[in-house]
Amino acid sequence: MSKRNVVGSNVHKVDGHKLVTGAPAFTDDIEMPGMLHGKILPSPHAHARIARIDTRKAKALAGVHAVLTYQDVPRVPHTTAGQAWPEPSPYDTYLLDSKVRFVGDRVAAVAAESRAIAERALRLIEVDYEVLPAVIDMEQAMAPGAPVIHDEPDSTKIHDPSHNIAGYILREIGSVEEGFRESDYVVEREFRTHRQQHTPLEPHITICWLDPNGRLVIRTSSQVPYHTRRQVAMILQIPVSHIHVIKPRIGGGFGGKQEMLLEDICGALTLASRRPVKMEYTREEEFYMARSRHPQILRLKMGAKADGTLLANQMTVLATTGAYGSHANTVQGNTGSKVLPLYRTPHMRFECHVVYTNMPVAGAFRGYGCPQGFFAQESLVDEIAAQLGIDPVEFHLKNTIRLGDIDRLSAQLGEGKEGLPRVIRSCGLQDCIRRGAEAIGWAKKRQTHKCPSPHLKRGVGMSCSMQGSGIAGVDWASAFLKMNEDGSFYLQVGASDVGGGADTVLSQIAAESLGVTLDKIIITSGDTDITPFDVGAYASSTTIISGGAVKKAAEKVRAQVLSLASKMLETPVEKLECGSNEVFTVCECRKSVTMTDIALQAMYKEKLQIMDGASHFNTDSPPPFCATFAEVEVDTETGQVKVLHVATAVDPGTAVNPMQSEGQVEGAVTQGMGYALTEELLLDGAGRPLNPNFMDYKIFSAKDMPKLTTILVETDEPLGPFGAKSISEVPINGPAPAIANAIYDAVGVRIRKLPIRPEDVLLALRDKERERREEGVAK
């Protein structure tokens, strides 16, 4: 491997300067002349038909320019999930409908000259609702006689609408029954996970206007500009060519913006008013009108030999997608396909029902089904290891997937269709486990539990996880490069930097391939008029897929540069190298020509624009691996769990920018701790949100944080650009099971429901104490 100059360096973010100086970079940081404010009238009912709706008073209010109800817009069944066409999610959503299916569902929309007028107009819309019985409990959704949420005839791709089943999955490899028969120890447990919200600091926001040619411009905080363009075209029934989607700087997405959420209604209001319209969710609306993580009930059954060899792994999942099936099948498919294959188990079975309920809509969320699955699996594995008297570190080293293995479950569980078998071509998991254990002080802490006081007990726990790097055979991206006359290069990518630093990583890959310094790469990303296609920022795909496209395009452009330099230096191409913003000979004569001179020669002598583009996809999705170790302190009097230290060791392939990679891990771990301990969007019995604000929905602040240790265990992935895989998702899977296992280590109780609240721990401790006493009495 030759020495690298830019890839592998902790360069500053290419867009860092504008962020630390507060330059106007985000969607909301423009002021359009004549811009209106759009607002949505949210449904107050979980399930109702609109019997009558009268907008005359709202329309008559001074300053109101448009009021839309289902009577005013085309009825086109679609999904809001920002996925490659044809989307594997059900087409069960309408721009506006005569039925509402959750508290917060769209009833009407207005555009007015100020937010205050828009809000006043909403109050003037008269609606008579025929309130319907609602399905709030997911365990009741499939019951005979349950209210049918999607009874409309025109929705498609719903597995069984009459039983509220959005999607169903059943896959088996080998025979779990046989596996259980061969096992010495079989255990089955139920786990429950909850509704977590992304809470990007920048809520969803879209500004639409008509350009001088009458095309609809959509400036939007989106992870998926190209999917959004296609979906809005379909919904508003205008040609794709009449839409221009611009993704400015994004204030965090985490999957919540892999969704066409405000763009369609904002576009409709713009078309109706012929004025620029801005729509932004308030923080409260963001909590329940945007998306959340799918709540699941998981039954997991595993069988092992006495020596700890795992033989069979069966996962049965009931999940709810809320009122609409955004990402319903694919998130839940990942709960099986990315979780079960962590172990080299010969027998695996995954069965899942995804049901509709009259609840806020779930969607893509960092980890994409895996945090739920790994919480269950890694908790159960810890229990099995304890039962068999095997140290969890040893248990993981013995059973986890390794280099050269073939993951066959992925082949059966592709996203929305048959997938492709996954071959493990790089795997640093064993090193991750060893180095993470060392960082947390595993060997010592598992033996001697330090108790600072009689009621404060400490323990350590661990978990392992993996993810993917792009969707095999589905995700693809393209990139375009052109040379400027000062020897710099303009890089155009469809990829969407959501905040994780994709613009920087892609620029680093281009600079490395072209032998130029990073300042010679000027990147534009995510603009459907300017940049070539990219599926968008999801499925941990950007570094490997978009980066692959950038590398290919850069290699083509490099060939053009070398060809011209060869003429200028009168040296064959084979004897030339690019580096330090010049092309030089590798023979002893040491001639060179600068990139600037090459560009000037090309443009003004040869009449040639040096430029090229490339497309890229992979037929495999190399997994990044992660081992998470947590140390906790449990207060046995209050049930309070305090995390003291989380050590996370991750194999991302090559870390293109190690500092950014660490940042991805630290952010994911923090969201994962919130998932484990504090974050839950609560609803009352009527489906109304109880805590849609940051005071009552608690995310970690700077003060709440434990010590974080991040270890990058780099490997060289053959399918990735410069050996890179991905990193942003996988570390979110670890904290919940590692913390639950640490709690067991500390106080001997298993918590199988998230989030782990003090009252749950306290109750479990009391139950344990009672059992102990009863056992004493029985003896």
Binding site for another protein (CB under 8 A): 10, 12-13, 15-26, 28-29, 31, 198-203, 249-252, 254, 280, 282-283, 498-501, 659-660, 662-663, 666-671, 693-695, 699-705, 708
Please identify, using beta-carbon distances, which residue of 198 and 294 lies nearer to another protein: 198
Nearer to another protein, 617 or 675 (CB): 675
Q: Which is nearer to another protein, 50 or 261 (CB)?
A: 261
622/663 with CB nearer another protein? 663
Give me the least distance between CB of 499 and another protein, in Å please. Answer: 3
In this complex, which beta carbon is closest to another protein, that of residue 254 or of residue 442?
Answer: 254
The least distance separating another protein from the CB of residue 222, rounded to whole angstroms, comes to: 13
Phi (first) and psi of residue 120, to 5 degrees:
-65, -40
Total residues found in the chain within this entry: 779
What is the per-residue DSSP string for 394-462?
HHHHHHB--TT-EE-HHHH--SSS----EE-----HHHHHHHHHHHHTHHHHHHS---SBTTEEEEEEE
| Residue corresponding to tokens 């350590």 | 460
My answer on whether omega of the bond before 86 falls inside 30° of 0, hence cis, is: yes
Instruction: Give the bridge partners for 724, in sequence order.
Output: 653
Contact yes or no for 504/14 (Cβ under 8 A): yes
18 Rama class: left (phi>0) / alpha (psi -120 to 50) / beta: alpha
Closer residue to another protein (CB): 202 or 620: 202
Q: How far is the CB of 10 from another protein (least distance, A)?
A: 7
CB of 36 to another protein, least distance (A): 16
Nearer to another protein, 204 or 558 (CB): 204
Tokens 């749950």 label which residue? 760
CB of 537 to another protein, least distance (A): 12
Cβ at position 13, least distance to another protein in Å: 7
* Residues 371, 379: Cα–Cα separation, whole Å: 12
For residue 577, give the H/E element and its range: strand 576-579
Q: Which is nearer to another protein, 203 or 689 (CB)?
A: 203
CB of 658 vs another protein, minimal distance in Å: 9
| Residue 236 or 681 having the CB closest to another protein | 681
Q: Minimum CB separation from another protein for residue 366, in Å?
A: 10
**Residue whose CB is less far from another protein, 497 or 745:** 497
Neighbours of 345 (CB within 10 A): 24
Least distance in angstroms from the C-beta of 33 to another protein: 14
Within its chain, how far is the Cα of 310 from the centroid?
30
Of residues 620 and 633, the one with the C-beta less far from another protein: 633
The three-state DSSP-derived secondary structure of 122-150 is HHHCEEEEEECCCCCCHHHCCCCCCCCCC
Please state the closest distance from residue 362 (CB atom) to another protein, in A.
Answer: 18
For 17, 18, 24, 496, the CA distances from 21, given in Å and listed in that order, are: 6, 5, 9, 22
Query: In angstroms, rounded to a whole number, what is the distance separating the alpha carbons of residues 659 and 776?
Result: 55
Q: Residue 529 has which token pair?
A: 């008029």
d(CA 90, CA 485): 50
Residue in the structure block whose two tokens are 């269709």:
417
CB 703 → another protein: shortest distance, Å? Answer: 4
φ and ψ of 659, to 5 deg: -65, -40
